[in-house]
């Protein structure tokens, strides 16, 4: 049977016999299938949670003061600025008592972009998860890196830190936040509350430490858009705006360990359900910067 142009047009709108409508492949499937970086100049393109990475570099599996964890995920790729940052931070952390360096978790995929699991961000090679477990040794086997777990520093009440947290953790966070390349750092709220209460001297570095759910096993470092990445979008509002140009040790921080944890008032009417927001795993290529198509198809 001859298929007319009119029939083809109709079949782009609805599924018809013999010509089913095809959904566009999700971007995370396309980027997750790439095992190596693109042969392009390093370039972070788009937003931290909606973008991609050209010319990524791979963090070596092991170094004198670090080890990359969960290597089976192939997420130890980053913008060269992040590679440099992790190397210098781990060297500084190795001078802190009780820390031989860093265990480094997910950074980014070989070409950045949305991931098939876990993160919404980590798409530009400018986000890295650093374990809150102090490394006792830096010669872990591949199997150990897959099976070893970090330890939570948040108490069961979600309001305070637990015995896994030490003053040395604050020294690590201070070193991480004091680097001028850093945009912000996410960690569980009780850890920032503790640091606000115990830090001495100049506390300006605390401005970059932001409370956020789910960061009790690791802290998440986000770097600023690198020079040369003109299409990299800075996150707004800035930490300066969020903290009102102070340290962020204020009532907004206390909200995370008080009001936010209180059960909803049963006497209030239930709020209508909001439509589900599209996330990174819903994106198709049209949602990402146009340059990401070249990143995906580049050799």
* Extents of the domains making up the chain: 39-263
pLDDT at residue 240 tops 70:
yes
Q: What residues have CB less than 8 Å from 46, skipping those under 6 apart?
A: 52, 123, 124, 231, 232, 233, 288, 289, 292
Q: pLDDT at position 276, please?
A: 84
197 token code pair: 């209460």
Q: pLDDT at position 181, please?
A: 98
98 token code pair: 């009780």
Average pLDDT value over all residues in the chain: 92
Lowest-confidence segment of 7-21, 116-130, 157-171 by average pLDDT:
7-21
pLDDT at residue 7 tops 80:
no
Q: pLDDT at position 61, please?
A: 97
Contact in structure between 132 and 208 (CB atoms under 8 Å): no
Confidence band of 266 (pLDDT split at 50, 70, 90): confident
The CATH architecture annotation of domain 39-263 reads 2-Layer Sandwich (3.30)
Q: What residues have CB less than 8 Å from 231, skipping those under 6 apart?
A: 43, 44, 45, 46, 289, 291
Helix (H) or strand (E) holding 62: strand 62-63
Percent of the chain as helix, strand, coil, to the nearest 5? 30, 15, 55
Q: DSSP E strands: which ranges in 200-281? A: 209-211, 218-223
Q: pLDDT at position 267, please?
A: 79
Q: Which of 200, 180, 25 is CA-nearest to residue 114?
A: 25
Query: pLDDT over 90 for what percent of the chain?
Result: 85
Q: pLDDT at position 227, please?
A: 93
For 60-103, write each residue's pLDDT tens digit.
999 999 999 999 999 999 999 999 999 999 999 999 999 999 99
pLDDT at residue 5 tops 60:
no
pLDDT at residue 265 tops 80:
no
């Amino acid at each position: 049977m001859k298929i007319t142009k009119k029939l083809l047009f109709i079949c782009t709108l609805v599924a018809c016999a013999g010509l089913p409508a095809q959904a566009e492949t999700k971007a995370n499937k396309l980027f997750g299938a790439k095992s190596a970086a693109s042969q392009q100049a390093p370039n972070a393109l788009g937003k931290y949670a909606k973008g991609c990475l050209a010319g990524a570099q791979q963090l070596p599996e092991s170094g004198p003061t670090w080890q990359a964890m969960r290597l089976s995920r192939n997420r130890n790729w980053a913008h060269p600025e992040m590679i440099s940052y992790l190397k210098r931070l781990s060297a500084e952390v190795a001078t802190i008592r009780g820390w031989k360096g860093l265990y480094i978790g997910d950074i980014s995929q070989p070409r950045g972009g949305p991931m098939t699991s876990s993160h919404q961000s980590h798409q530009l090679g400018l986000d890295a998860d650093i374990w809150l477990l102090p490394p006792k040794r830096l010669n872990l086997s591949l199997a150990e890196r897959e099976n070893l777990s970090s330890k939570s520093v948040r108490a069961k009440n979600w309001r305070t830190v637990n015995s896994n947290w030490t003053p040395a953790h604050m020294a690590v966070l201070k070193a991480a936040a004091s680097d001028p390349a850093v945009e912000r750092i996410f960690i569980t709220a009780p850890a920032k509350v503790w640091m606000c209460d115990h830090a001495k001297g100049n506390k300006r570095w605390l401005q970059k430490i932001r409370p956020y759910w789910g960061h009790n096993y690791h802290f998440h470092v986000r770097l600023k858009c690198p020079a040369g990445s003109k299409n990299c979008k800075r996150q707004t509002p800035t930490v300066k705006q969020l903290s009102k140009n102070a340290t962020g040790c204020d009532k907004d921080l206390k909200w995370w360990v008080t009001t936010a944890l209180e059960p909803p008032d049963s006497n209030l009417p239930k709020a209508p359900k909001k439509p589900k927001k599209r996330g990174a795993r819903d994106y198709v290529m049209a949602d990402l910067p146009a340059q990401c198509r070249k990143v995906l198809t580049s050799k």
